[in-house]
Homo-oligomer: A and B are copies of this chain.
Amino acid sequence: MNSIPLRVTVWGENRHETSHESVAKLYPNGMHEAIAAGLREHLGDTVTVGTATLDQPEHGLSNDVLDRTDVLTWWGHAAHEEVSDNVVARIHERVLGGMGLLVLHSGHYSKIFRRLMGTECGLRWREAAEREILWCVNPGHPIADGLDEYFELPHVEMYGEQFHIPPPDELIFISWFEGGEVFRSGCTWTRGKGKIFYFRPGHETFPIYYDANVQRVLANGIRWAAPASSAAYNPGGRNITAPLAALAEDHTVDASIH
């Protein structure tokens, strides 16, 4: 419908990539660049994809950058606490106003995700190179487009329930792990006008972001999370005149209190 490309900003913490040789070998330009490349490949000229990282000024997420962002993706792990509260507040406001947000893997513990969820967002984990099978339980959802009933990842870090999130609006994927756990791996929420998609796979020591199914899910997620409505939205508290105008004159109020 819309021929103007979606504007995506892929945010990466970009620390493991510089401090661990094995991660650097896997993702020589950083995970954010691998994620961005996958989106460009799957979405072609329907998107423009930029990147931003923790150690840039304002973490690369100035108001100017956010003005040009329809959907933001977030990968963080070791340095959640280093993300500035100001930038978090800025992103929070943008999401409520309609910017889409994809939260990836260990981003479950980021400040922005926890603030939007209102819960602790903890989970069980085990770094054991296990097999993961992701089952699609919502096949009509646009994020599932093109997938089979399930897909596998041969070696992953395990994330297990209980995942301490609010009940998702939509549950799309449930993961099975070799060690005996399950996990709600694809969840969506609406907050204000913004759409949020959490997707589990993505550990830094495995080549997850080169997997074709993972790339497809992220590409689908970008499309789904894009702003889809220009409807009026007024988040603040407001003292309002009645639609039925005659009303105002009918009542007297002790206005000194409010």
Contacts and interface: CB of A to CB of B under 8 A. Distances in A.
Contacts of A145: 228-231
Contacts of A20: 256-257
Number of copies: 4
Interface string A67-101: 00000000000000000000000000000101000
Contacts of A234: 122, 124, 149, 162
Given A96-B120, A179-B242, A190-B166, A142 B228 contact: yes
A164 B152 CA distance: 22
A138 interface: yes
Interface residues of A, number: 101
Given A1-B223, A125-B238, A126-B240, A167 B171 contact: yes
A46 B256 CA distance: 40
15 contacts: A1-B223, A96-B119, A125-B239, A126-B239, A127-B253, A129-B253, A130-B242, A130-B251, A141-B229, A149-B162, A164-B235, A169-B170, A175-B182, A176-B176, A179-B244
